[in-house]
Amino acid sequence: MRLLFVILILLSGCASTTLNTDSDVTRQQLLLLPNFIANSMAVDAYKEAIRNAEKNNKLNNNIEELERVTTISNKLIDEVSIFREDAKEWKWEINVEDSEEVNAYCMPGGKIMVYSGLIKKVNATDDELAAVIGHEISHALREHGRERMSTALVQQVGIIGFAAYIAEKGIYTDAAIQAVALGTTLFFALPNSREQEREADKIGLELTARAGYNPMAAVSLWRKMSELSEIKMPEFLSTHPSNENRIKDLSEQAKKIKPLYEANKNK
């Protein structure tokens, strides 16, 4: 009986995680993995990343970089309730890791990490940093990580097996989460789909504009990163393919959202 109950819960797991805003992102998503499980996995994986960075003396060593990233991130976080009301109450964390990688991420529940390579290698402006961080926050707002986890787990064990696992562990208990490795693997190893990337582009541009950052900076940033990729493919571009079509789409969307930026640029 309990297994049947869990199956019914999982089968009802299709919804749009964000409100309909100027970005017009309303796709129904497959969200079979319970939210608290995805978030717990993300917290454990993020703690592991923090521990490793601290162990290697690579966490938040440059106070100016940390303050800059924190200021930009907080301005973006101030606008997240436009897209989903609960996001403002997430336990947001912001850190900078010393790394050659040109990369950043935001895990489910608002766990932000920016690699110093993103700041230094492309000489990113505040608007350009906001474009990347806003894009990554948008993935978290849309729960793309949870969506990827749901798809992967169901593909591995099927809906019955997945439901049995959840039922056995106890869907309402903390004991359901034991696997740091599982959360890390599913979050980092599975690339976002093209549709998820388009959604993060659209919401990210709107988020940056509402926070007072120029959405056209996304275009200049992608051009910089494209030039860098001719030397060595940045990690960010390995899962976020940069091409002229995408730059064209970003430019067109940025122009549409420009009135929001004009209204908020003096924040």
Per the residue annotation, which of 97, 136, 197, 199 is the catalytic one?
136
Q: Tell me whether residue 89 is one of the annotated catalytic residues.
A: no
Chain centroid to Cα 241, Å, comes to: 16
Altogether, the residues listed in the chain come to a count of: 267
CA angle 193, 103, 262 (to 5 degrees): 80
Catalogue the long-range contacts made by 124-127 (C-beta closer than 8 Å, 24 or more residues apart).
Answer: 124/221, 124/224, 125/217, 125/220, 126/68, 126/72, 126/213, 127/208, 127/213, 127/214, 127/216, 127/217
CA dist., res. 105 & res. 118, Å (int): 11
Q: How many CA atoms lie within 13 A of 239 on its CB side?
A: 18
Contact 241, 144 (CB under 8 A): no
DSSP label at 240?
A: S
Residue of 29, 51, 235 lying closest to 149 (CA atoms): 29
User: Catalytic residue numbers?
Assistant: 136
